[in-house]
Amino acid sequence: MGRACGSDLASSKLDAMPQRIETLVMHDSSTPVLGDMEKGGSVVLTSVDRLVAAARSNSLWPLTFGLACCAIEMMSTVASRFDLARFGSEAFRATPRQADVMIIAGRLSKKMAPVLRQIYDQMPEPKWVISMGACASSGGVYNNYAIVQGADQVVPVDVYVPGCPPSPDALIFAVMKLQEKLRTRKVTSISQIGLSELLLPREKDEEVLA
Amino acid sequence: MSVEFFRDIAKPVVSGFGITAKRLKHRKVTVMYPEVKREQYPRTRWRHVLKRYDNGLEKCIGCSLCAGACPARCIYVEAAENTDEERYSAGERYAVRYEINMIRCIFCGYCQDACPTGAIVLQKDFELADYKRESFIYTKERLLEPLPQVV
């Protein structure tokens, strides 16, 4: 009896855990370009969105996801010579709960992919991903069985940065591109602003926490 | 006002802020990037450019040596014969298609070393980040230098 109970508990725990990624999607799953949507929207909606977008884009807190040598350049981006703090991104968080943008820095092995996905799922909405370097973006020279050929097969990537590794300036340029993406998007409904995620608890979060 | 106050509180505070005051005079190291771009090192390798001769002919002869030298296998070259009516390059052949997958490229510069005519050159434009993976396939039109201005 007790043994049966235990196995039930274990199986429910397994259900709550994010499933291991078995199959990898072969197409590019980057988010659609919002710039070519038609202009429009009410005055209130657009001004609220502009305010929210300004607040968000000027305080993008990155999540450190240093996987390889790109992480060294990521560190020097925050250091005094390049100073990512000028863009509101000085607070690198080691916890997904307090981060807005995940910087995948380095080659993503297939063993690391489920971990990356779990960390991504634990980040609160709204969230963005910068794929830094050739390996994270496409696999780079590591076209082999061990490396995921592009982090966009695991998480949706917003900005890709080529380079091996990208220089700190190139990463800052990518952060600027992401800020531009946040500022120039067009909203047509209140739900697109994404404030409801802050106010209402998500079912998904509860599942993960349980 | 005891001796302990000066020894344990006042003196450490003054000496601590003394370090701050010393650093205030220090040279500022931050490069204000979007406004000021730092000088790149002479051998910095970033975005590729396909060069032309002064008379406007392409230097690339479509030999695919760059594609062979590329460790990331990110270059694709398709060659075709030049004819007298349609002449693109100085050699016998020219590249009909020349594509570089910029996101797979590791900017090692082996293509530049392998090129017999000096057609492909890695220059210092590092602002390559983009939103979509498709936009990183740099075609010949994007890579080729603009035609020299006829005076």
Nearest CA in chain B to A140: B104
Our CA-based measurement puts residue B136 at a distance from the nearest CA of chain A, in whole angstroms, of 9
CA atoms within 13 A on the CB side of A196: 7
Question: Which runs of E-coded beta strand occur in A93-165?
Answer: 101-105, 128-132, 159-161
Q: CA dihedral defined by B42, A142, A167, B126, rounded to 10 degrees?
A: 70
Can you read off the two tokens belonging to residue B139? 């075609």
Pick among B38, B70, B131, B135 to test the A interface (most A CBs inside 10 A): B131
Residues in chain A closer than 8 A to B30 (CB atoms): 80-83, 86
Reduce the DSSP state of residue B93 to 3 states and report it.
strand
Ramachandran region, residue A15 (left: φ > 0; alpha: ψ -120 to 50; beta: rest): alpha
pLDDT tens-place string over residues A112-132: 999 999 999 999 888 899 999
User: What is residue A6's predicted lDDT score, i.e. its pLDDT?
Assistant: 44
Instruction: Say whether pTM exceeds 0.95.
Output: no
What's the confidence (pLDDT) of residue B106?
A: 93
Q: What was the pLDDT predicted at A94? A: 86
**Set of chain A residues whose Cβ sits within 8 Å of the Cβ of B132:** 28, 30, 33, 160
Where is B75: in which H helix or E strand? strand B75-81
Give the SS3 label for residue A198: helix
∠ CA(A34), CA(A35), CA(A37), 5° rounding? 70
Distance from CA of B64 to the nearest CA of A (A): 19
Alpha helices in chain B (DSSP H): 3-5, 11-24, 65-69, 110-114, 140-143
Considering only the beta carbons, identify the residue of B106, B126, B130 that sits closest to A160. Answer: B130
Question: Which residue of A lies nearest to B108 if distances are taken between CA atoms?
Answer: A164
Which residues of chain B fall below pLDDT 70? 1, 150-151
Chain B's closest residue to A128, CA to CA, is B131
What was the ipTM of the complex prediction?
0.84
- What does the alpha-carbon distance between residue A101 and residue A200 come to, in Å, rounded to a whole number? 21
Which residues in chain B have their CB less than 8 angstroms from residue A141's CB? 71-72, 104, 106
A72-95 pLDDT tens trace? 999 999 998 999 999 998 888 888
Contact assignment for A162 to B132 by CB distance below 8 Å: no
Residues of A in contact with B108 (CB under 8 A): 164
Chain pair A-B, CB pairs under 8 angstroms: 97
B11 vs A: CB within 8 A: no
Q: What are the C-alpha distances in Å from B50 to residues A74, A98, B53, B117, B141?
A: 31, 45, 10, 11, 9
Q: pLDDT (tens digit, 0 to 9) for every residue of chain A, 210 residues total?
A: 334 444 444 445 555 555 444 444 444 444 444 443 444 455 666 777 788 888 888 999 999 889 999 999 999 999 989 999 999 988 888 889 999 999 999 999 999 999 999 999 999 888 899 999 999 999 999 999 999 999 999 999 999 999 999 999 999 999 999 999 988 876 666 666 666 655 655 555 555 554
